Amino acid sequence: MAAPQDVHVRICNQEIVKFDLEVKALIQDIRDCSGPLSALTELNTKVKEKFQHLRRRIQELEQSAKEQDKESEKQILLQEVENHKKQMLSNQTSWRKANLTCKIAIDNLEKAELLQGGDLLRQRKTTKESLAQTSSAITESLMGISRMMSQQVQQSEEAMQTLANSSRTILDANEEFKSMSGTIQLGRKLITKYNRRELTDKLLIFLALALFLATVLYIVKKRLFPFL
């Protein structure tokens, strides 16, 4: 049956290997991280926790090595502790390099986004200026249309006024025409009456002349031809 001390050493070695593999996996995640910084910070927090667990287990293994009764077993365990410490230092170096690589990548990405954002800002500024110019042109066009409509309304009002004046003039002329028509009809009646009276006078004169001539002929006949 294995001694409790041997079981503890075996468990320490297993956990050291487990934490070492987890640290290596997190370091690879940091290398692959493209941001943002919050994601990198979260990964670094996890790495720190794993290093703390790893360091604690290495210390426990070292303490167990020192407690070994046999010098040979003690030296073997101390050599394992030394190897684990070297591996942990190597992981820490890899961790720092991975952080540097990741931060450079994030900085480059942020610069690219800033440049792209600058282009977007310029495009937005250009778009705003274009929209402002278009809006100004539309406003000018609407104002021009408004002025034209105002002129058309004014011209229409003047035309209506002229038409109203013409209508009044026509009505006045119509009244004058009616008055003149009445005068003309009266004149026509007077002329007709005058013509009738003239015809009657002519007829009376003709009859009087005929009677006069008949009387003269009768007198001449009696004088010249009394026997007739």
pLDDT > 70: percent of the chain: 71
Mean pLDDT of all residues belonging to the chain? 81
56 in a structural domain: yes
Is residue 135 a part of any domain in this protein?
no
In a domain, 95, yes or no: yes
In a domain, 156, yes or no: no
pLDDT digit string, tens, across residues 95-116: 999 999 999 989 998 888 888 8
- The answer to the question of residue 96 being in a domain is yes
Prior bond to 36 cis, omega within 30?
yes
- pLDDT of 80 > 80? The answer is yes
In a domain, 35, yes or no: yes
Answering whether pTM is above 0.85, one says no
Angle, CA 108 vertex, CA 104 and CA 111 arms, to 5°:
140
- Measured at the CA of 56, the angle between CA 51 and CA 57, to 5 degrees, comes to 100
Domain count, the chain: 1
Within a domain: 194: no
**Residue 175 included in any domain:** no
* Residue 84 scores a pLDDT above 90: yes
Tokens, residue 118? 């600058």
**Secondary structure element (H or E) that encloses residue 213, with its range:** helix 71-224
pLDDT of residue 28: 96
Tokens (6 digits) for 31? 């290398």
What integer pLDDT is reported at residue 45 of this predicted model?
96
Structural domain containing residue 48: 1-115
- The burial class, CB within 10 Å (0-12 / 13-18 / 19+), for 39 is middle
pLDDT of residue 182: 72
**What confidence tens digit (pLDDT) does each residue in 159-197 have?**
567 666 766 776 776 677 677 777 778 777 777 776 777
CATH number at residue 75: 1.20.58.400
Residue 1: predicted pLDDT: 42
Average pLDDT over residues 6-34: 93
